[in-house]
Homo-oligomer: A and B are copies of this chain.
Amino acid sequence: MHSGLSWIMVASEIGFSLVELAKQTRQASRQLAVLSNHDRNFALEAIADALTSATPEILAANETDCQFAKEEGISQALYARLHLGETKLQAAIAGVRDVAKLPDPIGVKQIHRELDQGLILQRVTCPLGVLGIIFEARPEALIQITSLAIKSGNGVILKGGKEALRSCQALVKVIHQALASTKVDPATVQLLTTREEINQLLALDEYVDLIIPRGSNSFVRYVQENTRIPVLGHADGICHLYIDGDADLEKAINITVDAKTQYPAACNAIETLLIHQAIASEFLPQIALALTAQGVELRGDEQTCQIIPATPATETDWSTEYSDLILSIKIVDSLATAIAHINTYGSKHTDAIVTENSQTAETFQNQVDAAGVYHNCSTRFADGFRYGFGAEVGISTQQMPPRGPVGLEGLVTYKYKVTGNGHIAATYSGNNAKPFTHKDL
């Protein structure tokens, strides 16, 4: 019988257990933070081995998830993400070993300076502490996130999409078993299993140092608005491509088609095409042909609709991330108008210009306020792997660093270590103040 009272008791138990769990992760993360790179890599190899051995159980759990999801009428796209299979699992395991091979992000000396004789300042990278990562129903994401967390010396509290619950539980069970034989405390990695726990997690600013939400724009915005913990991520990816009057039209067509159609659901795909009026009547018919051949629906401003057949665009179109084969098109009278449009409607993700005029390109790259400002290439390059960061934790559209595609760098912070031999501040103050030497070592 579920009386009101027993419900309250259960609810408070959940809350209590989550705080306890976060405390354990915090404690475990403090131990992890001081392990050597060798010890952390050893744990990653142990996880990779254990996942390989447990492949049948993991795939069986995933099959059950897939079965239930099908019965509930999951979309084909979501099913493709949820379904693991041996190939995806093996790729994810190889990814764990790749992360182990990345340079150690911890203990990097960023500043090494003598302040005075015998008084030495060092700025050294160190883990953030505990990460809270909320991700979509994609089991291999759990494997990648866990390996990045351990490599960067951080504890991690995971919450996967509900459709992948059994897959996530199977994976975390294997990871805990693997860690038991290493110096990394299994409590370093925790799994939340209910939706209710997300709000509780967002309130744990005492124990969690960074939240990384993945998934729908509205969900990411919800997280950003409902926690005091720093959030790494982006709610919108409204990317623009501007075809300048001095553009090479062949490059412009190739880049436009790639940036819109190569993976339209990606955040770095373009939503709006801006075209300089000087080339609009020549370029528009060609690009319309190329895009409609790929099944792209075109929405144009008034001038555009006078040149090609297109649905009239409304004000809403300029601030919409379609994440689909839809493109809004606007004709502009100048570079300045293009930049102003992007700075008004863009989401500071990635915006590109096609032009043979390097001065125009430079102005665009300097004046557009976005994490990525591209010249003569597709916006689809905005990605941690493509930038050569080895692994990506996400793309940030915030103004402060870390901005753009973030690798392990976004999971570490730094400390200032100062070592003296009895040095006191009074020596360097007042009338007979000793000067600092400030000599970089």
Contact = CB atoms under 8 A, between A and B. Distances in A.
Interface of A: 30, 33-34, 113, 115, 119, 121, 126, 128-129, 209-210, 224-225, 228, 230, 248, 250-251, 254-255, 257-259, 262-263, 343, 361, 363, 365-367, 369-378, 380-382, 386-388, 398-401, 403-405, 413-426, 428-429, 436, 438
Give the residue among A129, A209, A413, A421 with the most B Cβ atoms within 10 A. A413
A375 B367 CA distance: 45
Given A388-B115, A400-B413, A417-B365, A262 B426 contact: yes
Given A230-B399, A416-B372, A423 B113 contact: no
A425 B257 CA distance: 10
Given A129-B399, A377-B419, 14 more contacts: A209-B400, A224-B228, A230-B400, A251-B421, A254-B422, A262-B424, A371-B416, A372-B417, A373-B416, A376-B419, A377-B421, A380-B425, A382-B416, A401-B414
A415 B374 contact: no
Contacts of A426: 258, 262
A375 B419 contact: yes
A418 to B, nearest CB: 5
A149 B185 CA distance: 46
21 contacts: A30-B343, A30-B367, A119-B377, A121-B387, A255-B424, A257-B424, A258-B425, A258-B426, A372-B415, A373-B415, A373-B417, A376-B421, A377-B418, A377-B419, A378-B420, A378-B423, A386-B436, A387-B416, A399-B413, A403-B414, A404-B416
Contacts of A126: 366
A376 B373 CA distance: 47
The 4 nearest A-B residue pairs measured at CB: A377-B420, A380-B425, A258-B424, A251-B422
Given A369-B129, A416-B371, A422 B376 contact: yes
A401 B401 contact: yes
Nearest to A409: B401
Contacts of A415: 365, 370-373, 403-404
A301 to B, nearest CB: 24
Give the residue among A129, A254, A259 with the most B Cβ atoms within 10 A. A254
A438 B399 CA distance: 26
